[in-house]
Structures are given as C-alpha cells and as structure tokens.
C-alpha cells in the first residue's frame, strides 16, 4: 500500500478530514500537499508533521490513538 493511500485512510479514521484540511493544519498549501500525495513523495519530516498534527504515532506506519496501525 502506498504512503498516500495510508494517509487517506488515516484521514478518514481521524475524523474524516480532507487533504486540504490537513495541509492547512500543517501550515502547508493544499496544492503543495496535493503534489506530494500525487507523487507519493514524502520526507520523514513531513510524515512526522502529519503524525504530530493528527495526534498519532508514525513508525513506518501510523498508529491511531486507539492503537490501530494504518
């Protein structure tokens, strides 16, 4: 499963957020974030920012607050 797919699943599990909402919360333009999603190109820094923003843990996978790995 691609990282973009994992992020989409995570957004649903964390309150059905949109990609644009996540980008805004991270201080990133939605266009820039959309480009990363389309290319499936994420730095570790961006992945760590996603986990901090959504309140989960990134460890080569995301772990929701209830311990479910995505």
* pLDDT recorded at residue 50: 96
- Domain range summary for the chain, segments of one domain joined by +: 3-63
Place of tokens 């994420």: 42
Report CA Rg, the chain: 11
* pLDDT recorded at residue 56: 92
38 has pLDDT over 80: yes
Own/partner long-range contacts of 28-35 (Cβ < 8 Å, ≥24 apart): none
- As a whole number, the mean pLDDT across the chain is 92
Q: What is the CATH number of domain 3-63?
A: 1.10.260
Q: What is the pTM of this model?
A: 0.81
Q: What is the pLDDT of residues 20-29, one digit of tens each?
A: 999 999 999 9
CA–CA dist 42, 28 (Å, integer) = 13
61 has pLDDT over 80: no
Mean of pLDDT values over 46-55: 94
């Amino acid at each position: 499963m691609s990282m973009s797919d994992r992020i989409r699943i995570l957004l649903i599990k964390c309150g059905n957020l949109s990609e644009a909402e996540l980008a805004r919360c991270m201080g990133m333009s939605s266009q820039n974030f959309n480009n990363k999603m389309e290319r499936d190109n994420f730095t570790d820094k961006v992945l760590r920012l996603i986990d901090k923003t959504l309140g989960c843990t990134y460890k080569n996978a995301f772990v929701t607050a209830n311990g479910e790995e995505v």
